[in-house]
Structure formats: C-alpha cells, structure tokens
Structure 1
C-alpha cells in the first residue's frame, strides 16, 4: 500500500456553527468545574444553572462561575434550562438522567452513563420512547486527533488491524472517592472506559473476553488486565489501574503499519503513523492538554 504524503484534516465544527443552548449542570464537583470552565472559554453555549442537594454549595458554585441560577432540586423542570449535564457521583447518574428525560430535556451524562448494564438499557429505552437525546460524555471520541485517526483507519493506511494495546493507570490515595465501592469505585468506570472504548471503537465487540483483577485494600478492584479476542484473529491487550501511574499510551498495529499514541492517548496530543519501513512516518501534532 502506498504510504501517504500527508494526514487527513480533522472534522471540527466552529463554535459559531453550533446552536447555543442554555445548560444546567447537576453536581458541583471537580469534573463540573472543568466542564463549566471549558464551555465558558471555548464555546457559545450558556451555563444557566447549577444544582446540588446542598443549596449553599450550589449557590457558591454559581457565584464562582457567574452562573445566573442555583437550585437544590427540580432544575430539570425549569423552563430556563434547555439541556442538562449530569456530573454527580456515579451511582446517582441513573436517577438524575431519568428525571431529565422525563422532563423532556436533552441530557449529557458524565461517564459512566450508569453503574450497570441494566440501568443503561433502561435509560436508553426511556430516551427512545420519549424521543429525548441521551449521551455519555465520552469526550475522547470528539478530539481532533481521533477524527484524523478514524480517517486513517478508514482509508486502510495500516492495513488489516491485528492488535490494539492500551493502558491507563493513575495512583489514587486511600481516601479518594474512587476507592469507595458505594460510590462506584475501582478503575473500570473511570479509567478503564478509555482503554475499552479505544478497543471496541476500532475492533468492535469482542467474541471472547478474558480478564483478571487485583483488589485494592478498600475492596474495590485495584487493577485489571484484559485480553479481547476477535473471530478474525485480532486481539486487544488492555490494562487499567488505580494503584500506580502508568505510561497511558496506546498502539494500533496493522499488517502494513502502526499508529502510536504516546502519553495520555485519550487526551489532546500527537500520534505517529509509521509504515513497516520505519523510515516512513507521519506525525499528527496538537498541543497536549488534559481535563
């Protein structure tokens, strides 16, 4: 296969091309702070409300980010809100999203969508029945580099894909929320989603899954290694951990070349396309950043 002289351009809409909605955020935590900061800095969307069971906390968040309205409940039904972003701890995603759907409000749910497949199916079925938009906030899929990467794969520039390898590990202290089983702890719902999302996004649903976990002292899974086997012979080798920092890189290997995503593969940053002849490479470059 002929090696390209350049990489495709990413498909990215300008902020001005996207209709501005009035957003409400449920859950004034760490991830909500980053969501609000990004929306206010880089888009034309409007953050109009923040909700928390603790009304004083919601009011403080509203003052900090210049949000017009704060709520201690029932924001889903407020006519001043067009769409909702759910940023509560994991076990509350289902109920908050259900309320939004029943109120007819489009809803973006921070990952994981839910803490069980049964809850996720119920939400999807409800959204379909009510004709309401429901989406998990899996931001990686919408990064410019992944737009380019999908085009590279669609054009067959590395040939038949035979292997995907990815890891995502971060160290968390014992007191962190991720160590608590009652709050949906363990790496799979926070970190493992990225490695699994990469593998299934490229290779699809595996025919066989083999996995083994090591428990943390708190009882949640501390790290998990996974092997996905596909009928055609392709494999995905994946790892996620909350016990230690790891390189967080990924490799997509084909019969005619390879894509290497060094560093935090799931965030903005570069990747390298290389042919089997190592002298032929192309690099997609963009500034590194994270959530």
Structure 2
C-alpha cells in the first residue's frame, strides 16, 4: 500500500484524489494546505488526515507526496519533501525554469528518491495504444508536430495573469505542447517565437522549434484567443490527428499515404490522473528513481524549450530579476 500526501487543495488536487480511488493499493493518508479550513474540507470529502503544517505532514508516514500548489512553490516544496525522505510527483511545470529544475533533480539524487513531473498524456490508454500501433504500423519517423490550445475564458483576477505567480500561457497549457514535441522529436535545438505580453505575462505565444532529431514543432498557447486542442504528428508515410483535447486523449485518426485510415479509441476512467499515479506507484515498488516513460531528460527538454520561448518574448518574472 502506497500512502499518499497531497500538498495543496485546489482543483487539480481534487482531480488527483478522485483518480487515486481508481489506483490499486494506494490511499490518501495526509493533506496540507496553507488554508487549514480548505484542508479540513478536503479530507471530509476524500479521507486522510489534515495537517496544520507542512512539516507535520512531511514527518508523517506517507510514502509519496503529490504537489498541487501554484507553479512558484513547486521546486521549494519538492526539495523539502525529498529531503524528508518522500517520493515526489510534482504537478506541471516541475519548475519555473531550467536552473530551478536542476536544483530539484539534484535533491532527488542526493536523497535517493523518485521524482517525476506529473505530465499526464503519455500514461493515457489512448496514447499508449497509439504508440504501440505506430511501432507496428508506422507512418515513418515523425518529422513535424503541431499542437496548442488557447482559452480566452481565463478571468482577469486569475493567477495566470499574475507575473508574481509565474503566470502566462506557456507554463500552463504550453508545457503540454512542449511535452508532445519533445516526446516525438527530442530536445529543441533552435527556437523562434512570436507573441505578445499582456499585464507582464505571455497572453499569446506562437513557437517554432527545430529539434535534435531534425524534426520541427509548431506550438501555440494563449489566454486571450480561442483555439482548438487537437494535435498533428506527421511522417513521410502518413499523419496522425489526436483529437481534442489531445492532452486528455481518447481518440486518434491515422491517415496513411496508401489511403488507409485507422481510427483508434480508448476511453479514460477515473479523473485521468490515475494513470500517471499508478505508474508512479509501480516505480516506487520497483525501486526506480526515474520514469522510463517520462524521464528527467524530458522534463529538462520541456522547460528548456519554454525558457527559450520566454527569452524570445522578453518575459522575465519579477522574482527572477530579484534572484
């Protein structure tokens, strides 16, 4: 039985707890939130014990923690949890920038604990089914990835509009597209970006990247326009459409150059976060410190791509200047 602690009680923490109920031999044991009232309400709904302090939770007998707090606290909380001897599954982005991520990975190595970014798409049944299908019936080496999403419905007072909270589209929905590009094309080698800053964050960003395997990615993210959430993987012998919203994938269509069209479907269960959680639990049981599906190299490459895009836009958060 893997005993879990959750740090933070927002919407994504609720989805994690809902998904945890679908994971065998795993249980919610502890919850912490700066607002103790929210923690109390959370455990009334999902179980476990509410802790008034982070230190109290980290001294408890939980095996792993899921970090579900705002972006700016991810690295700090991950390092504290690793130092306390806990395995860490950290909500995306794992860190604000590449330098911050390296401090987290160094702590994981120092303390000999498993660390994984909670990047859900590769663990969905549809994504695994697509991977298996293309291994057996390929479209050739994927040389182009197009993905993105833009949501104009973000309220003006949301933290995504707050530069002090590392707001903007790139670190929110954009990190998903960065994953897809890295997963199929490898790390980026050259990044070009056009976009605009609004209230000190990236309101919209359009990114073109050349990757280490020679492929090209075309990615976009935004907070003030509407955009669909499908993705394209293109090879010399065909192309794949992962239908919206591709980061919660349940359906894909493969178009082959010879005229064949293959439809793949795989329904999700639970909240969708249960797949990455089950994988993480299996890693703990196997004594592994890194996921073979979402290795640390992927997290590095994702945040480096976002770093390069931010640099092209001139986006520097206030706390980065102070650092």
SS of corresponding position for 1:161: coil
Please give the secondary structure, in 2, of the residue aligned with 1:189.
helix
The whole-number CA distance in structure 2 between the counterparts of 1:213 and 1:25 is 35
Mean CA deviation greater in 50-59 or 123-132: 50-59
- What does residue 236 of structure 1 align with? 217
Residue 183 of structure 2, aligned match among 195, 201, 206: 201
Structure with the bigger percentage of helix: 2
CA distance 1:98–1:76, shift in 2 (3 Å): farther
Alpha-carbon distance in 2 for matches of 1:156, 1:210:
33
The separation in 1 between residues aligned to 2:164 and 2:134, in whole angstroms, is 40
Quote the offset at 1:21 in angstroms.
0.6
- The Cα RMSD (Å) is 1.9
Deviation at 1:96, TM superposition (A): 0.8
Contact kept in structure 2, 1:76 and 1:105, CA below 8 Å = no
CA distance in 2, matches of 1:103, 1:72: 14
Quick check: 82-91 or 269-278, which moved more?
A: 269-278
> How far off is 1:155 after superposition?
4.1
Secondary structure at the aligned position of 1:182 is classed as helix
Q: Unpaired segments of 5 or more residues in structure 1? A: 1-19
Q: Using the alignment, how far apart are the partners of 2:211 and 2:65 within structure 1?
A: 37
On the 8 A contact 1:163/1:234 being kept in 2, the answer is yes
Aligned counterpart, 1:115: 96
- Pairing 1:86-101 to 2, within 5 Å after superposition: 86-101=67-82
Shift of 1:42: 4.7
From 257, 263, 267, the equivalent of 1:287 is 267
Q: 1:32 aligns with which of 6, 10, 13?
A: 13
Larger gyration radius, structure 1 or structure 2: 1
Structure 1 Cα separation of the partners of residues 53 and 158 of structure 2: 25
* TM-score (norm. length: structure 1): 0.87
What is the rounded CA distance, in whole Å, between the counterparts of 1:173 and 1:117 in structure 2?
29
**Cα gap change, 1:133/1:276 in structure 2, threshold over 3 Å: closer, same or farther?**
same
Q: Is the 8 Å Cα contact of residues 185 and 212 (structure 2) preserved in structure 1?
A: no
Which of 104, 110, 124 matches 1:129? Answer: 110
